[in-house]
Amino acid sequence: MQKKRIAIFGSTGSIGTQALDVIRANPDLFETEILTAQSNADLLIKQALEFKPNAVVIGDETKYQKVKDALAQTLVKVFAGEKALEEAADFDSYDMMLAGIVGFAGLKPTIKAVEKGKPVGLANKETLVVAGDLIMQKAIEKRVPIIPVDSEHSAIFQCLVGEARNKIEKIILTASGGPFLGKKPNYLVNVKRDHALQHPNWAMGAKITIDSATLMNKGLEMIEAKWLFNLKPEQIQVLVHPQSIIHSMVQFEDGSVKAQMGLPDMKLPIQYALSFPQRIKNDFPRLDFRKYPSLTFEEPDVKTFRNLALATEALFKGGNMPCVLNAANEIAVWAFLRNRIGFLDMTAMVEKTMETINFIEKPTMQEYFDSDGEARNFAASLINM
Instruction: Tell me the closest approach of the beta carbon of residue 322 to Mg ion, in angstroms.
Output: 16
User: What backbone phi and psi angles, to 5 degrees, belong to 11?
Assistant: -75, -15
Instruction: Tell me the closest approach of the beta carbon of residue 385 to ligand NAD, in angstroms.
Output: 26
Q: How far is CA 96 from CA 99, 118, 135, in A?
A: 9, 6, 16
The number of residues that bind ligand NAD (CB under 6 A) is 27
Residue list 80-109, contact with ligand NAD (CB under 6 A): 100-102, 105
DSSP label at residue 347? H
C-alpha–C-alpha distance, residues 325 and 333, integer Å: 12
Selected from 7, 51, 59, 139, the binder of ligand NAD by CB under 6 A is: 59
Instruction: Tell me the closest approach of the beta carbon of residue 288 to Mg ion, in angstroms.
Output: 23
Residues 6+ apart with CB under 8 A from 95: 4, 5, 6, 33, 118, 119
Q: Which is nearer to ligand NAD, 14 or 26 (CB)?
A: 14
- Beta strand pairing status for 246-252 and 257-261? antiparallel
Single out the residue of 325, 348, 351, 324 nearest to residue 336, CA to CA. 348
Instruction: Tell me the closest approach of the beta carbon of residue 21 to ligand NAD, in angstroms.
Output: 13
Quickly list H helices, the chain: 14-25, 41-51, 64-70, 82-89, 107-115, 125-141, 151-159, 185-188, 193-196, 206-214, 216-229, 267-275, 306-317, 321-337, 343-356, 365-381
Instruction: Tell me the closest approach of the beta carbon of residue 289 to ligand NAD, in angstroms.
Output: 24
C-alpha–C-alpha distance, residues 145 and 114, integer Å: 9
Mark 203-242 with x for binding to ligand NAD (rule: CB under 6 A) and - for no binding: -xxxxx----------------------------------
C-alpha–C-alpha distance, residues 192 and 197, integer Å: 9
Which of 59-88 are b and which e, b meaning 16 or more Cβ less than 10 Å from the residue's Cβ?
bbeebbebbbebbeeeebebbbeeebbbeb
Question: Using CB distances below 5 to 8 A depending on partner kind, what does residue 329 bind out of Mg ion, ligand NAD, none?
Answer: none
Instruction: Tell me the closest approach of the beta carbon of residue 154 to Mg ion, in angstroms.
Output: 9
Instruction: Tell me the closest approach of the beta carbon of residue 67 to ligand NAD, in angstroms.
Output: 13
Mark 100-139 with x for binding to Mg ion (rule: CB under 5 A) and - for no binding: ----------------------------------------
- Taking CB under 6 A as the binding criterion, the range among 10-18, 246-254, 275-283, 324-332 that sits at the site for ligand NAD is 10-18
User: What backbone phi and psi angles, to 5 degrees, belong to 126?
Assistant: -60, -30
Question: Using CB distances below 5 to 8 A depending on partner kind, what does residue 124 bind out of ligand NAD, Mg ion, none?
Answer: ligand NAD
- Our finding on whether 15 is near ligand NAD (CB under 6 A) is yes
- Our finding on whether 211 is near Mg ion (CB under 5 A) is no
User: What backbone phi and psi angles, to 5 degrees, belong to 124?
Assistant: -70, 85
Q: What's the chain's length in residues? A: 385
Selected from 31, 150, 211, 224, the binder of Mg ion by CB under 5 A is: 150
Q: Which is nearer to ligand NAD, 107 or 240 (CB)?
A: 107
Mark 117-146 with x for binding to ligand NAD (rule: CB under 6 A) and - for no binding: ------xxxx--------------------
C-alpha–C-alpha distance, residues 38 and 121, integer Å: 19
Q: Which residue is nearest to ligand NAD (CB)?
A: 13
Selected from 259, 266, 315, 379, the binder of ligand NAD by CB under 6 A is: 266
Q: Which is nearer to Mg ion, 152 or 330 (CB)?
A: 152
Positions touching ligand NAD (CB under 6 A) are 10-16, 37-38, 40, 59, 100-102, 105, 123-126, 150, 202, 204-208, 266
Interface with Mg ion by CB under 5 A: which residues? Answer: 150-152
